[in-house]
C-alpha cells in the first residue's frame, strides 16, 4: 500500500504496491541504543518538529513531511500531489532550479522526495554543518517557488513519461490500478498516486498554485531531523528558517469519503505478454493503526508476519521449503495509513500450470489460521522478529527519521512510535485468531491474477 | 443503468439496474400520429421549454427536469440529489407540505418524481385546466422551499428506511453497488443514486441548501409539457409562472472525472441466503449517445436488440426456446446517459447447477456475434422492432414527455429525438459487428454472480 513515487532524478526502487516488495513499516523501540531522548515541539507558526539525536556518525538526515498526498486530491485532479513534488525541484524566487541538487551532490550528500497516498516528503542526508543551509533552502521552497505555465508544461511531459515507463511499462503496476478501485469503492485510495494519464494531461499552473497555497504551509508540515545534532541546535536553526514563514489557513480535519460495508468477493484478471509466470494476490480491507480498535493493527502485523512475513513464515516454510510449489509467496500489511488499509497474501507458482494448485494451498493456510489460530511459540517468535527488526533501524538515522515522519504524517505521535514494541508484546494468540476471523473473510476478498497473455482471462 | 428512485409516497417499480427489468429508452419518431409540431423555446431566464401537443385526450403531463443527478454530487455527499427530491415534497413559504399531493389526488391526477445519475424530474399528469396551478406550484417549490434542520432530520430517517428496504433488502441491488464501482473506477456513476448509508446519515440542511441554491434554478431546468395544449398557451403560462423566477449563476459544463483505459477482466461474486436461482451479468463500458462516435450508440442499441432484446433475440431463441437451459437471459444497453454507459448481458439458469453451462453458452453467443456478425434479415427485423416500439410511446403523452425530457437533460436536442428512427435505419450489419468487436471484449469485461448462500463464492 505504500505506493511511493520518487522524483525521477533520484530514482530509487519503485515502491509500488508490488507482490514481491515489502517495506519494514513497524515502529521502532526508540529507547534502545540511544542516550538523548527524542524531542518533539511546535514552532509558533504551527510547524511540528521531531529531533532524534544520534552522535555515532557525523551525519544528519533532514526531512520535511507535508500532510498531503494523493488521497487528498480533488476528483478529476489525480496526480497533482506527485506533480507538485516534481515542481518543488524547480527554481524559487531566490534560488535557481538545480541549486539544491548541486549543493548536496558537491558535499557528498543525498537527497530525494516521495509522494504517497497520505503524505509528501522531502529529505537530504548531509554532514551536520550543512544542515542550516538545507533548512534555509527547504524553507525557501516551501513558500517561494516559481510556478508558471512554462515550468508546469515541461514537468507535465516528464511526469507523463514517468507514468508510461513506471506504470504502463509494468504489468504489475497496471494490475494494481485495477485492484485498488476494486478494493476501494468510495475512498480515494482507489486512485493511483501518480494519477490517471488523462488527468495528468490536464493539470495546469492554476491547479499547482492552488495546491501549493493550501498545503505547503508550516502548519501543515512536520520537520524531522535525525543524527548528529541536539534538540536545542535544531530548534534554533528551525526558528531562524522555517520559523520565519507565515502560517497558512487552518485546514479542516483530513476526512475522506469512507468505505461502505463490503459484501462481495471480487476478482481482477489481467493478461499481458510481458508476464512469464502467473501470480495472484488476495486483498482485504483492514483497519490501519489510526482507524483500528486498540491492538487490531498490531494483531494484523503479527498475522502478516506469522502467515507470510519472510523465511520463517508458514507460507514460506510450507510452500517454498517443504513442498516447493511456490516461486514466491507471502503476506503484507501496512498499518501506516491514515485510513482503512489492506492486508494482502500473494503467490506465484514454480511453473505456470501450478497457479490453481498454489492458490488452493494458500487459501488452505488462510483457512487454517482462521480455524486453529496460532501457537504460543510461533507468536512469541514472530514478536521477537518484529521487535528485533527495529534494531536495524537504530543504525540508520535516515531510517529513524522515516519512521517518525510516517507516524506523525498519519496521525500518530512520538509516544505511539515508542510504545509500539510493548503493544506488539501485548497481543495474544486469541487476538491474532479473532482478527484473522474478522478480516480475512473469503466472501469479502479481492483476488488479483496476473497471467501470461496465452491464458484466457475468464 | 437507469437507476431511478421514486419518492416513496408514489412508489413505482424500483427501476434499479436489475437483470430482468428493461426500459424502452429509444427515441421516438415524433412525426407519426401528430399534427402540430413539437415546440422548443427558451424563457428569458434560461429555462428551456418543450411542448408536445396531442389533442386525442383531455389530459396533460407536466414535467420539470433538473440537470443534476447523483453523478454531480461532491465526494462524501452521496445521496444528496435523491435526498433533495424528497425535500421537494415538503412545505414552501407559500404552500404547506402535502398541498400539491392532495390537489392532484382530488382531481384524479398522478404525480411522481425520480432521481437518476444525470437528472432529477418532477411530474404531474392532470386535466389541462389544472396545468396553470401545477406550473404555479412547481415554480413555487423551485425557489421557495423551506429547508431547516427539522425537515431534513425527519426526511433523513425516511430515506434511510427507504435504503434499508430497497437496497439492503434486495440482493440484486446490493450486488449492483459492488458492480458499479468495479466497472467505473473513476467516474461517479460508481456511486449509488440513493447514496451510501454512512453518507446519507451525515447529510444536513447546509448541504441541502447549497444544493438547492446551485441547481434548482430555471436556467438549469427543462420544462416538458405533453398533451392537450398548444405551444402558445404553454408559453404564456410558463412566462407567468417559471418566467418570474430569477436566473441562477451559470453552471460550468457537466464534466465529471472520466474513466482511464481498462485492461483487465473483473468478476464480482455475492452470496445471499435470499437467492434461490443463481444468475450472472456481464458488463462492458460503452459510449452513450452523447459520447459515442456517430452511429455507435445506434449500433449498440441494435446489438442489444439482436443479441438479447426480447423474445425474438438470439439469446432468448437459443437458450430459452430451442434448448431451454435459461430461466432468463437477455441484453440491455442504455444510451441515454450523459457519460460513458454500459452494455450488459445476463442469464439465470433453469436449475442452480446449470449456471456454468449457461454462462458458457452465453459467452459463445457473444463470441459468435463478434466473429460472424449479424445477417441482413435479422438486422432489418431488429430495426423494425425498435422503430415500431416507438408507436406505443405515441399513445401516451406522459411517455413522450419522458423521452424528450431524458434527451434534453442528457445533452441531446429535440432534433436528435426526431432523427433517431433514421439513424437506426442507417446502421449497417458491418457497423454492428465492428461495434461488438470494439466493445464486447472479454478481456475488459466485468462479470457479476449472484449466488445462493450455500455456494462458496470463490
Evaluate whether ipTM surpasses 0.85. no
Contact status, residue A113 vs residue A7, Cβ threshold 8 Å: yes
d(CA B188, CA B194): 13
Could you report the per-residue pLDDT of B270-325, keeping only the tens digit for each?
A: 999 999 999 999 999 999 999 999 999 999 999 999 999 999 999 999 999 999 99
Q: In A, which residues are within 8 Å of B253 by CB distance?
A: none
Is a pLDDT exceeding 70 seen at residue B16? no
Q: Is the pLDDT of residue B184 over 50?
A: yes
Q: Which of A188, A267, A283 to mutate to test the interface with B (most CBs of B within 10 A)?
A: A267
CA distance A242 to chain B (A): 34
The DSSP letter of residue A295 is T
Q: What is the chain A residue with the closest CA to B282?
A: A458
The answer on pLDDT for A311 being more than 70 is yes
Closest to B301 measured CA to CA, from B341, B250, B258, B266: B341
CB B265 to CB A270 under 8 A? yes
How would residue B454 be classed by pLDDT, with cut points 50, 70 and 90?
A: low
What pLDDT digit, counting tens, does each position of A242-282 carry? Answer: 999 999 999 999 999 999 998 899 999 999 999 999 999 99
Chain A residue with minimum CA distance to B271 = A264
Q: Mind telling me how many Å the CA of B280 is from chain A's nearest CA? A: 13
- At B22, the pLDDT band (50, 70, 90 cuts) reads very low
Domains of chain A plus CATH, in order, are: 35-244 (3.30.830.10), 266-452 (3.30.830.10)
Chain position carrying cell 513534488? A85
Indicate the residue of A76, A255, A264 with minimum beta-carbon distance to B270: A264
- pLDDT of amino acid B124: 97
Contacts of A403 (CB under 8 A, 6+ apart): A27, A28, A393, A417
State what percent of residues in chain A have pLDDT above 90.
88
Catalytic-residue membership of B298: no
Q: Does position A17 have pLDDT exceeding 80, yes or no?
A: no
Number of CB atoms found within 10 A of residue B43's CB: 20
Q: How many CA atoms lie within 13 A of A199 on its CB side?
A: 28
Please state, rounded to an integer, the average pLDDT across all residues of chain A: 91
d(CA B451, CA A258) in angstroms, rounded, equals 27
Residue A66 binned pLDDT confidence (cut-offs 50, 70, 90): very high
CA distances B29 to A193, B36, B403, Å, are 49, 14, 11
C-alpha cell at B72: 454531480
CB-based burial label for B422 (10 Å; 0-12, 13-18, 19+): exposed
- A369-407 confidence digits (pLDDT tens): 999 999 999 999 999 999 988 777 777 889 999 999 999
Nearest CA in chain A to B183: A182
- The whole-number pLDDT of residue A180 equals 97
Interface test with A, best of B71, B170, B173, B185 (most A CBs within 10 A): B185
pLDDT at A70 over 60: yes
Residue B236: CB atoms within 10 Å: 13
Contact B246, B276 (CB under 8 A): no
Q: Can you say how many angstroms the Cα of residue B184 is from the centroid of all Cα atoms in its chain? A: 17
Average pLDDT, stretch A187-193? 97
pLDDT tens sequence across A76-132: 999 999 999 999 999 999 999 999 999 999 999 999 999 999 999 999 999 999 999
Note whether B269 contacts A265, CB cutoff 8 Å.
Answer: yes
Residues of A with CB under 8 A from a CB of B: 75-76, 78, 174-175, 177-178, 181-182, 185-186, 188, 190-191, 196-199, 255-258, 260-271, 442-443, 445, 447, 456-458
Across B316-342, average pLDDT: 97
Q: Are B102 and B132 in contact (CB under 8 A)?
A: no
Confidence band for A22, pLDDT divided at 50, 70 and 90 = very low
- 3-class state of residue A340 by DSSP: coil
Q: What is the pTM of this model?
A: 0.88
Q: What is the pLDDT of residue B389?
A: 83
For residues B161 and B93, is the Cβ–Cβ distance under 8 A? Answer: no
Element (H, E) at A422: helix A414-425
Q: What is the pLDDT of residue B320?
A: 96
Rounded to whole angstroms, the Cα distance separating A332 from A345 reads: 7
Using an 8 Å CB-CB cutoff, list chain B residues near A267. 266-269, 458
CA distance B78 to B194: 7
Which spans in B109-223 are helix H?
131-143, 149-163, 171-183, 197-200, 205-215
Amino acid at each position: 500500500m505504500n505506493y511511493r513515487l520518487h522524483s525521477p532524478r533520484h530514482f530509487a526502487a519503485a515502491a509500488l504496491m508490488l507482490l514481491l516488495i515489502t517495506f519494514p513499516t513497524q515502529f521502532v523501540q526508540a529507547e534502545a541504543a540511544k542516550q538523548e531522548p527524542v524531542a518533539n515541539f511546535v514552532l509558533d507558526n504551527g510547524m511540528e518538529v521531531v529531533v532524534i539525536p544520534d552522535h555515532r556518525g557525523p551525519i544528519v538526515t533532514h526531512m520535511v513531511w507535508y500532510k498531503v498526498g494523493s488521497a487528498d486530491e480533488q476528483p478529476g485532479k489525480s496526480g497533482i500531489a506527485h506533480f507538485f513534488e516534481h515542481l518543488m525541484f524547480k527554481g524559487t524566487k531566490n534560488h535557481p532550479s538545480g541549486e539544491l541538487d548541486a549543493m548536496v551532490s558537491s558535499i557528498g550528500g543525498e537527497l530525494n522526495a516521495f509522494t504517497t497516498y497520505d503524505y509528501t516528503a522531502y529529505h537530504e542526508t548531509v554532514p551536520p554543518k550543512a544542515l542550516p543551509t538545507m533548512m534555509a533552502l527547504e524553507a525557501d521552497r516551501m513558500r517561494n517557488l516559481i510556478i508558471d505555465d512554462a515550468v508546469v508544461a515541461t514537468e507535465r511531459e516528464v511526469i507523463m513519461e514517468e507514468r508510461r515507463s513506471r506504470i504502463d511499462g509494468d504489468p504489475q503496476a497496471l494490475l494494481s490500478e485495477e485492484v485498488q478501485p476494486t478494493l476501494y469503492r468510495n475512498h480515494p485510495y482507489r486512485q493511483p498516486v501518480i494519477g490517471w494519464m488523462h488527468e495528468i494531461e490536464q493539470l495546469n499552473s492554476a491547479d499547482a498554485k492552488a495546491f501549493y497555497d493550501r498545503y505547503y504551509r508550516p502548519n501543515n508540515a512536520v520537520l524531522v531531523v535525525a543524527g548528529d545534532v541536539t534538540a536545542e541546535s535544531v530548534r534554533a536553526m528551525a526558528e531562524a528558517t522555517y520559523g520565519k514563514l507565515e502560517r497558512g489557513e487552518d485546514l479542516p480535519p483530513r476526512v475522506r469519503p469512507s468505505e461502505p460495508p463490503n459484501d462481495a468477493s471480487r476478482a481482477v484478471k489481467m493478461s499481458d505478454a510481458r508476464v512469464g509466470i502467473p501470480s495472484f494476490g488476495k486483498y482485504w480491507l483492514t483497519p490501519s493503526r489510526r482507524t483500528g480498535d486498540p491492538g487490531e493493527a498490531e494483531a494484523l502485523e503479527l498475522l502478516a508476519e506469522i502467515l507470510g512475513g519472510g523465511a520463517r513464515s508458514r507460507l514460506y516454510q510450507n510452500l517454498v521449503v517443504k513442498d516447493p510449489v511456490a516461486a514466491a509467496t507471502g503476506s503484507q500489511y501496512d498499518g501506516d495509513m491514515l485510513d482503512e488499509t489492506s492486508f494482502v497474501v500473494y503467490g506465484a507458482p514454480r511453473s505456470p500450470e501450478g497457479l490453481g494448485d498454489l492458490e488452493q494451498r494458500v487459501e488452505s493456510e488462510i483457512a487454517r489460521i482462521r480455524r486453529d489460530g496460532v501457537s504460543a511459540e510461533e507468536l512469541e517468535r514472530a514478536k521477537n522478529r518484529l521487535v528485533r527488526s527495529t534494531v536495524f533501524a537504530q543504525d540508520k538515522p535516515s531510517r529513524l527519521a522515516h519512521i517518525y515522519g510516517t507516524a506523525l504524517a498519519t496521525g500518530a505521535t512520538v509516544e505511539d512510535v515508542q510504545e509500539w514494541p510493548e503493544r506488539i508484546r501485548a497481543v495474544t494468540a486469541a487476538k491474532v485468531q479473532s482478527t484473522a476471523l474478522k478480516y480475512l473473510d473469503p466472501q469479502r476478498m479481492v483476488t488479483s491474477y496476473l497471467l501470461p497473455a496465452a491464458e484466457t482471462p475468464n
